[in-house]
Amino acid sequence: MKEARAFIDREYKYGFVTDVEADTAPRGLNEDIIRFISKKKNEPKFMLERRLNAYRRWLQMEEPRWQNVHYPPIDYQDIIYYSAPKPAKDGPKNLEDVDQEILKTYEKLGIPLDEQKRLAGVAVDAVFDSVSVATTFKETLAKAGVIFCPFSEAVEEHQDLVRKYLGSVVPYADNFYATLNSAVFSDGSFCYIPKGVRCPLELSTYFRINTADTGQFERTLIIADEGSYVSYLEGCTAPIRDKNQLHAAVVELIALKGAQIKYSTIQNWYAGDKNGKGGIYNFVTKRGKCVGDHSKISWTQVETGSAITWKYPSVILQGDHTIGEFYSVALTNHYQQADTGTKMIHIGKNTRSTVISKGIAAAHGRNTYRGLIRALPNAAHAKNYTQCDSLLLGDRCSANTFPYIEVKNKTASVEHEASTSKISEDQLFYCKQRGISAENAVSMIVNGFCKEVFKNLPMEFAVEATKLLGVSLEGSVG
């Protein structure tokens, strides 16, 4: 498979730095920094209390060590916890207020901030380092009663909702990184879909880390009220830097009775260079809760970036007849590492979950699926089907599967299947004899391998994901 090896090394396309003046907090973390962040955000008192509680708790916590990824210890005092492009006194009211440099950045990234060039009707909330810089299509959404705004705005304007739901799925003391996030999170997106409303647009947040040595700690909270529907997309990029940067976000989804939330991620943080230098540590806590009966939460993720990806988007199936889904493609090339998967906690009756995970490891990549399926005693007739397939490209990579299945109800049925293989010589030969170059053949086979997941992405994203996969795999084949 020598030909296939020629397929590597296209440089990371989004690795530029935008030169904007930034309002940054001093390095390090202490109670004053947290007060500083809270003050910058004009937060009410309860938020500051929350942050400080989380911080005090965090000080007592230990960094987890059980994961199957390796990295040098992180110096939490060497991170800048707040960085905002200036001027950002109140946050821009409309696009004219946004710094031209930033708009150009998003243009380069291909994110349609400019509503004039409206692309495919996607409402975007763009987060630059620590703050949200622009949210598009606000008015269209407002007409439908949908609230979609930067998190800091929600804290001011929709205090009741924030108070009620923030931390209801991921409590502030949940885990080391979620607790750190709860203490220092700067911004993110907030979304509320009222009763019976089908959100007229795809909602989308675009995250970008710009300033060096910053950590990005955003917080996303999506509440789908009874009978509503929303599809939400998330994308991420960062400049090329030699030093590793930390991204520790928390995403909480709440689906009330009969509501449906579809959450898609295309994660393309800077992955580090060929020798594994630099790149983002993507340590994220994502969890959804099907609170009401007949609700549904679906996670789709395409993880191609980051030096280390370590996350388990989960669903708590609390209501009866609720559905949880997890579709994932995780690709690790060069020295990338991924330890990702899901947790499906079946609490209610007749709950169903589906897990489809596709891992691709190339070069020295380490790819791990780790998942938990738990059926509690009341979860009568709970059903789960899990399938994890791994594809290995190259003899220096590794693929691991660690499923945990815990069943406490006799009517529950849980099935898990996993396989690991490589692209067969026969498949390659077949393509090549039809005049398809080895590189294209590999790309085609890999795309076929991921198809089951890609078909769950909204159309534009599916196209992007396919391309991204091709680029990320370049030169890795052989």
Partner 1 sequence: MASREETITRKGDSKGNHYLSVCESFLAKIDSRDPFWVQTLRQDALARFRELGFPTTREEQWKYTNVRAIQEANFEPAPREALPKIKKEEVEKLSTCPLRWHRLVFVNGVYSKEFSRLSDLSGAFHVGTIQDAIRTKPKMLEQYLAQCARYDRNGFAALNTALIQDGTFIYMAEGKEFETPIELVFLTDSERGNVMSQPRNLIVFGRSSRATLIESYFSFSDDPYFTNVVTEVVLGDGAVCDYVRLQREGRKAFHISTTQVEVGRNSVFSSVAVDLGGKLVRNNLTVELTEEGAQCDLNGLYLTSDDQHVDNHTLIEHPKPNGTSRQLYKGILDGASTTVFGGKIWVHQDAQKTDAHQTNKNLLLSEHATVDTKPQLEIFADDVKCTHGAAVGQIDEDSVFYLKSRGLPEAKARQLVSYGFANEVVERIKVPSIRAELNQIVLERCERQGSGKAVAS
List residues near partner 1 by CB under 8 A. Answer: 60-62, 66, 377, 390, 392-422
| Distance in angstroms (rounded) separating the CA atoms of residues 352 and 205 | 28
Nearer to partner 1, 8 or 407 (CB): 407
- CB nearer partner 1, residue 404 or residue 429: 404
Question: How far from 58 is each of 81, 133, 308, CA to CA, in Å?
Answer: 15, 29, 22
The total of other beta-carbon atoms located within 10 Å of residue 93's CB is 9
CB environment 391-413: b (16+ within 10 A), e (fewer)? bbbbeebbbebebeeebebeebe
CA distance 393 to 472: 13
376 burial (CB, 10 Å; 0-12 / 13-18 / 19+) is middle
- Left, alpha or beta for 435 (phi > 0: left; psi -120 to 50: alpha)? left
Q: Report in angstroms how near the CB of residue 201 gets to partner 1 at its nearest.
A: 41
Q: CA 440, 280, 331 angle in degrees (round to 5)?
A: 30
Virtual torsion, Cα 114, 115, 120, 121, nearest 10 deg: 140
For partner 1, give the closer residue by CB, 57 or 274.
Answer: 57
Closest approach of Cβ 360 to partner 1, in Å? 12
- Say if residues 338 and 309 touch (Cβ distance below 8 Å): yes
In terms of CB distance, is 41 or 352 closer to partner 1? Answer: 352
Q: Closer to partner 1 at the Cβ: 2 or 410?
A: 410
Cα separation, 57 vs 35, in Å, equals 16
Paired tokens of 185: 């999170």
Instruction: Pick between residue 88 and residue 362 the one whose CB is nearest to partner 1.
Output: 362
Residue 76 CB, nearest approach to partner 1 (Å): 15
Q: How far is the CB of 111 from partner 1 (least distance, A)?
A: 37
Task: Name residue, tokens 């993507």.
Answer: 282
Query: Distance from CA of residue 448 to its chain's centroid?
Result: 23
Q: Which is nearer to partner 1, 53 or 398 (CB)?
A: 398
Q: How far is the CB of 422 from partner 1 (least distance, A)?
A: 5
C-beta of 410 vs 434, nearer to partner 1: 410
Closest CA to 432 of 101, 2, 63, 39: 2
State in angstroms the smallest separation of the CB of 315 from partner 1.
19
Q: How far is the CB of 396 from partner 1 (least distance, A)?
A: 7
In the complex, the smallest distance separating the C-beta of residue 252 from partner 1, rounded to whole angstroms, is: 22
The residues with which 247 forms a beta bridge, in sequence order, are 216, 282
